[in-house]
Chains A and B, each alone.
Chain A
Amino acid sequence: MLFSRLYFGFESAGLGFASIDLSPVTLRPHAQACGADETIFFDICNGTIRLLGDLYRYRQEPQDYPLDGWPDWNSARALLRNYVRQCAARNVLDVGRLLAEVWQSVCGDGGHGTLILNPRRLLVRIALPGDPVWRCPSCRRPHLHRAGGVCTRCLTSLSPESEGTCSDLHRQNYYAKESVELRVPMRLHCEELTAQTDDQAERQRHFRNVVVNLGTGPRPYYPQVDQIDILSVTTTMEVGVDIGSLQSVMLANMPPMRFNYQQRAGRAGRRGQAFAVVLTLCRGRSHDEFYFNFPERITGDRPPVPFLSLSRPEIPLRLLAKECLRRAFRTAGVRWWDSPTPPDSHGEFGTVADWLQDQQRQATVETWLQTAPDVSIVARALLTGGFSPILPGQLEVRIRGDLKRRIDDCVRNPELSGEGVAERLAEGAVLPMFGMPSRVRYLFHGIRNRTAYGIDRDLDLAITEFAPGSQKTKDKRIYTSIGFTAPYIVVANRLAPADPNPIAWRRWMSRCERCHDTQVFDQRPTVMACPECGTPLGGSPGFRLFEIIVPLGFRTHLGPGDDAKEDVEILVSGSGIVAQSDSTTPQAVVGTNARLAFTPAGRVFRLNTRRGELFRGTLGTASLANGRNRFERQWIDERYQNDPGGVQFTPAVAAEELAIAAPKTTDVVRISPQGVPLGLCVDPLVTGIQSAALRAAYFSAAFILRSVVAERLDIDPEEIDISNLRRILTLSGDWVGELVFSDHLANGAGFTQWFADNFAPVLSEVTSTTPPPGSFMAGLTAMPHRSRCDSSCYDCLRQYRNMTYHGLLDWRLGLAALRVLLSSTTRCGIDGIFTLPELEGWLAWARSLRDAFMLSFSSTSREFATLPGCLVGRKQVIFVHPLWDCTRPSQLLAAAVADADQTAEIRFLDTFNVLRRPSFAYQALT
């Protein structure tokens, strides 16, 4: 508090300052020795004390950074030394003498040896409202003494005359005002309430000031202590929790959509309250910035039209399967008590083990499915109303003829890990998921009373949020994941891992960092090079071979966790989605310039490779340092083995390196240009800054396609994942990008298959100059949108969930890339024709970007044939469309280059980079 460098500092608030603990009698000889006035010398010493505080020259607990002593001025930070030197110059004193006497006063008599502050030898001088203030004319830092006439922050000279008083500072400083006005302290007991809170009901009671002792807590509760004033909550609070009357709601970021905002804001001001306050803090990211600029959009946008998919047979088929199986298993005598523990939330169909052993059960279910009249009754009931084009008979045939086989497939599929038959059927897309995450993994963080406490996440998220090294906060504690474990269950009156192997699934993956070819093997393969591009093992970027695993669960050191501090950065390992390459040969799509490969049941992996370094560790026995919480068969990351922040660990086998995966079998479709149109470049890894623009073009095209497909299928765009962008060679030897789409749902929902089957008409609609009225494309290309959106916005490609792509998204580029997929004769304006919606006005726009660029950077305007450009030194800079091939100029660009002086360098700047990062573009020129 004494030494905060900013607005919150004690002295900056005008409340007082830290002072050296020396009497005038002790100071006087030092002042005289350097020829300084006593008051000035005292101020210089106090200025030195303030600077030491600014430089964190005091012991802290914990001491995050080493605090080494400075044995002399030469060892000290230059700022400190220069401050004393400036003071000498300002007061016409001998520098050497002043340095020596300040050193003796501060470090010797003052007790702050080696320039480390000793709090016991500091005095705090309390300021009165009328005390003078000297403000730095440069940085405006307030000083409550003259500090030797030199600013303690920027070393600018301070005016001899004071500028205002401390009361002026008090009025401007919230904390100072609270302090001087002696406001009564207010209690603020803050706790969190999330889905991970161990006792959510108790937390809610305490927030509503209901404190009762049920004997379940770790200690007795007291209203004065345990009543909660502020709840820090997650989206769990958005619906379904009656939390009572709230005086205020503070949102720590902008909610994804209008209805999210209204759900959250609407928590305040209920039950007859006259008013309530809702404050939304906007972060520095594109989503928050957009709604900060247009708050009416988050409070009053038109609600999205709810939709029901009526034409996809998979959906009623799954419902029919569920109801038929419920009746069939009941007929076979299976009841709820035959389900695994904890119960299978997907249905009461018993365990996988029982199904495999009990032939009678299988026979009964099969017979029921083939003969029971219920199947047709349920099918007709499901399709009542005639809204769906699907016929009940179609569904009935599949249930009677195919369902038993699908059950067998699921229970024998090693990649489906649920214990219950129903869970496996749900994961295998035989039963509906109803949005319920069933691939849940726990991060176990503590053991109490033979109960393991944990936080759960779907496997897709767990592989990053729970990966060793990642941290999670819960109830003001930070828990660091250190490895894998099977879930803990009580066995023989003590906790033990439920499975002897914490890793449920292992495979080998080969992945080429150059061409992104990805293969998965059951055993370690003998490949020495990428089968696609030949890149040998190793190197960077290189061809890599590594093991991928799916853990049953994750664990911390099972100790109490660390104190959560303010502003601490929570570490999370990164992940990406990759699709396994397959041998499906892409086929040319008639009437387009695209090649397409559809792979039913393709493999898609969300992968955490620890940014390529992999996780290194091994199986063994782990316990806390005191020997408690000792468990065998734990996989512990090497970084936390026998480490103060980890566990006592005895390895049982040799160390291994691996990546964590969330595999998914789903439909995959790959789309790439068949040929590269003359004059254009569509290589996403082209050399130079243009590659960012090309990646942007591909991703923008992908998001446009996804939106149109979603519109046509009447589904949420999130149902289709954009897996990745790969660089591949065309048959004619040109590099192009390949877009990979997959169904979001495991085992495919049929959406990408429809996309693959209807690609040509979809592409035709997307690129039509007369899109259907009211459609997504009509809105995208409508004049009002064209005129106000120079890249992407919430009316076209941006969504909350594609926030990571916001910087790349550009509807014009996306549309241009889609035209490349449509036709090899597309020219993207390089032929001088700029009439298409995405090109209209491009020349004028490029010229305006050039002009803006020239205002920022020293350059001279120059036209190159019809293209805008400028001269930066002797370099001739031509402004180009991001899809134009600058290495092989053609048409307009060739004319521009031909117009340039052959004796000087020619450079190109694309409008994508100039618009988004002009400084970077300028740097690229030099």
Chain B
Amino acid sequence: MKPGEIIVALPVRPLLRIAPSRFVNLRACALRELWLGAAQPPLLPRSPASILGTLAHAVLAYASNASSGAEPIAISSRWDEMAVKTDSILAGSWLERSLHPLSRSASLYEVVRLRVFQQAAMIHRNTKTGGSSLPRPQFGFEVKVCSRDGLISGRVDWVYPSREGPVIADFKSGHVLEDPSATTLRVKPGHQVQLRMYAALYASTYGQWPARLQVVPLAGKRVPVEFHRPACEALVTEAARALTSLNTEVKRFLASGDFEAAQRLANPHHTICRVCLYRPGCPAYLRSLARQPTDHWPNDLLGTVTHILPIRRERVNVTLARDNGTSTTVRALSSSGRHPALSGLKTGEQLSIFNFVGRGTKSDATEGPLTTVYRMTQCEGSQTQSPTNESHD
């Protein structure tokens, strides 16, 4: 598959395991998790905030794994080293080149960097003040947890002791609360599910239930998450059942060659698809978008090219006509290199433009850093692959 060209309907394979952090996503859209599990490369660029979050987590993991606790200078060097590596990946990717360097594309780059250093310092203090003498492996950072059947597993960011018992803490670099302006602090539902599953898995792995669950933002107070043991266990049971059921179905349609069946696992909905990086290759999403394009859907367009207008500075306006007869012009798309799909583009061709900026009205659709353009090519079916390892945490 060449950059800028896509074959609709990507291959899938069964999942061996699932992490608590992915279970919420599995519930939302199984197909997306299957593609992720099959290590399919994303078809859209990640958001800079997400890349930054990954970088932050990696540096914190380094800080927690350092045997004698990482000194601030080492953390700073580690950050720089990983930032260079991240930038190198961005620069080498036709999808994410526009996000290079991350320090420019991620608006809170410097803020997150400072916050990571603060957290790393906290970890360092914790390690120095006896954290290293705590019994391993049930305390400390990056604590492994697993269900008895091995289907659900993951790593808890941090488990530390308290008078009442172990406390499970999960670091979050992004938004933590469901409504930041509300007076009552309510953690996002996805984070709650993740932590409650950690509680049950921790009990299953180490025979002891945690006393408290906490979300730890990089700055600010830790936010508690309430839990009830039966509900936590029920979540793990539900996750295992969902995984088994999904794998059964996947195996069935792989065996029967019913590739259309995989698409039935998709759950196209604007809240889910908005954050999905596979939607250019998801027939279910593309059909939904074509059928009911509303303000809620992501800023994506599919249609036939009706007009191409070159403007200054090697940019073009591209007008797409949808099947329903409406048309939209996306203006000032970079025609030199950034979007391979625009090379040699002619009117009458099928094109899709994802993540344009603006409301899509007559004149305000334009290119943003995440905008991606594809020429659409239909394929007959998906390919089969062997089962993958566990999904990422």
Interface residues of A (CB under 8 A from B): 514, 528-536, 538-543, 729, 873-875, 887-891, 894-895, 897-905
Contact = CB atoms under 8 A, between A and B. Distances in A.
B66 interface: no
Contact of B317 (A536, A887, A899): A536
A539 B362 contact: yes
Nearest to A512: B363
A273 B8 CA distance: 98
B220 A903 contact: yes
Given A534-B316, A536-B363, A538-B362, 18 more contacts: A528-B309, A529-B311, A529-B317, A531-B311, A533-B311, A533-B366, A534-B315, A539-B362, A874-B183, A875-B181, A894-B111, A900-B219, A901-B217, A901-B220, A901-B221, A902-B220, A904-B180, A904-B220
Given A539-B364, A897-B108, A905-B181, A534 B220 contact: no
Given A889-B111, A894-B114, A903-B176, A536 B362 contact: yes
Contacts of A901: 217, 219-221
B311 A532 contact: yes
Of A529, A541, A899, which is in contact with the most chain B CB atoms at under 10 Å from its CB? Answer: A529
B220 A535 contact: no
Contact of A898 (B111, B183, B313, B316): B111
Contacts of A900: 219-220
Interface string B220-235: 1101000000000000
B181 to A, nearest CB: 6
A899 B118 CA distance: 10
Contacts of B182: 874
Contacts of A874: 180-183
Contact of A889 (B110, B223, B329, B364): B110
A370 to B, nearest CB: 46
Nearest to B114: A898
A759 to B, nearest CB: 24
A899 B331 contact: no
Nearest to A538: B362
A692 B115 CA distance: 31
B363 A542 contact: yes
A735 to B, nearest CB: 13
B258 to A, nearest CB: 45
A875 B113 CA distance: 23
Interface in B36-87: none
Contacts of A530: 311
A889 B115 CA distance: 13
Contact of B110 (A528, A729, A894, A904): A894
A898 B107 contact: no
A887 B49 CA distance: 13
Contact of A899 (B219, B223, B364): B219
Nearest to A876: B220
Nearest to B173: A902
Nearest to A731: B313
B386 interface: no
A345 to B, nearest CB: 45
Contact of B223 (A887, A890, A898, A903): A903
Contact of B111 (A529, A535, A897): A897
Contacts of A514: 363
Interface of A is mostly: loop
Nearest to B176: A903
A895 B316 CA distance: 40
A535 B363 CA distance: 6
B185 interface: yes
A543 B346 CA distance: 25
Contact of A903 (B104, B185, B363, B364): B185
Interface string B99-115: 00000100111110111
A888 B112 CA distance: 11
A871 B125 CA distance: 30
B277 interface: no
A532 B317 CA distance: 11
Contacts, number: 101
Which 5 pairs, one residue from A and one from B, show the smallest C-beta to C-beta distance? A539-B363, A534-B331, A901-B220, A902-B217, A894-B110
Contacts of B115: 898, 902
Interface in B109-153: 109-111, 113-115, 118
B181 A534 contact: no
Interface of B: 104, 107-111, 113-115, 118, 172, 176-177, 180-183, 185, 217-221, 223, 309, 311-313, 315-317, 329, 331-332, 361-364, 366
Contacts of B218: 898, 902
Nearest to B364: A539
B181 A536 contact: no
Contacts of A905: 180-181
B273 to A, nearest CB: 26
B180 A538 contact: no
Contact of A534 (B108, B113, B362, B366): B366
Contacts of B217: 901-903
7 contacts: A534-B315, A539-B364, A874-B181, A901-B219, A903-B176, A903-B220, A905-B180
Given A535-B363, A539-B364, A874-B183, A902 B176 contact: yes
Contacts of B113: 894
Contacts of A889: 107-108, 110-111
Given A529-B317, A875-B181, A901-B221, A534 B111 contact: no
A534 B309 contact: yes
A889 B176 CA distance: 20
Given A539-B361, A539-B364, A531 B312 contact: yes
Contacts of B312: 531-532
Among the interface residues A534, A887, A903, which one has the most CB atoms of the partner chain B within 10 A?
Answer: A534
Nearest to A904: B180
B225 to A, nearest CB: 13
B317 A890 contact: no
Nearest to B116: A898
B296 to A, nearest CB: 22
Given A534-B366, A903-B180, A903-B217, A888 B107 contact: yes
Contacts of A540: 363
A896 to B, nearest CB: 9
A530 B316 CA distance: 11
Nearest to A583: B312
Contacts of A542: 362-363
Nearest to A528: B309
A874 B110 CA distance: 23
Contacts of A903: 176-177, 180, 185, 217, 220-221, 223
B110 A533 contact: no
Contacts of B111: 889, 894, 897-898
Given A543-B363, A904-B180, A536 B331 contact: yes
Most chain A CB neighbours (cut-off 10 Å) among B313, B331, B363:
B363
B200 to A, nearest CB: 25
Contacts of B362: 536, 538-539, 542
A529 B176 CA distance: 43
Given A529-B311, A529-B317, A903-B180, A535 B331 contact: yes
B317 A534 contact: yes
Contacts of B361: 539
B110 A890 contact: yes
A674 to B, nearest CB: 16
A902 B332 contact: no
A401 B337 CA distance: 53
A539 B362 CA distance: 6
Nearest to B307: A528
Contacts of B364: 539
Max chain B Cβ within 10 angstroms of own Cβ: one of A536, A541, A729, A900: A536
B19 to A, nearest CB: 23
Contacts of A533: 311, 331-332, 366
Contacts of B223: 903
A646 B52 CA distance: 67
Nearest to A540: B363
Nearest to A534: B331
